[in-house]
Amino acid sequence: MKKTKGIVGILIFIISIIAGIYLGGWLMFLSPIINCCRAIDSGDITAIMVFITIVKCIFSSVVITIIPCIGKIIQFIITE
């Protein structure tokens, strides 16, 4: 039983790392920058779009950090 809890805890932690990288790295950092570049190319860029992109890029590091921390807390709770 303890071995199963350990495996489940490690899987949850690994999934939370992948989710943090996807949500923080792709959805909140790279994707807004790419969309902003596409808007510049097409001539549809607005100040609000630039502002939202900057805010998302600032908070992406928080998301990349918080999600794996929550996963580690859940792993600790499960393995106890």
Query: Taking the domains of the chain in order of start, what are their residue ranges?
Result: 2-79
Q: Identify the band that residue 1 occupies on the pLDDT scale cut at 50, 70 and 90.
A: confident
- Reported as a pLDDT band with limits 50, 70 and 90, residue 61 is very high
Backbone angles phi, psi at 17, to 5 degrees: -65, -45
Supply the pLDDT for residue 26: 95
Model pTM score: 0.84
List of E strands, 1-80: none
> At CB < 8 A and 24+ separation, what contacts does 22-25 make?
23/63, 23/64, 23/67, 24/60, 24/61, 24/62, 24/63, 24/64, 24/65, 24/67, 25/60, 25/64
Residue 78, both tokens: 């499960």
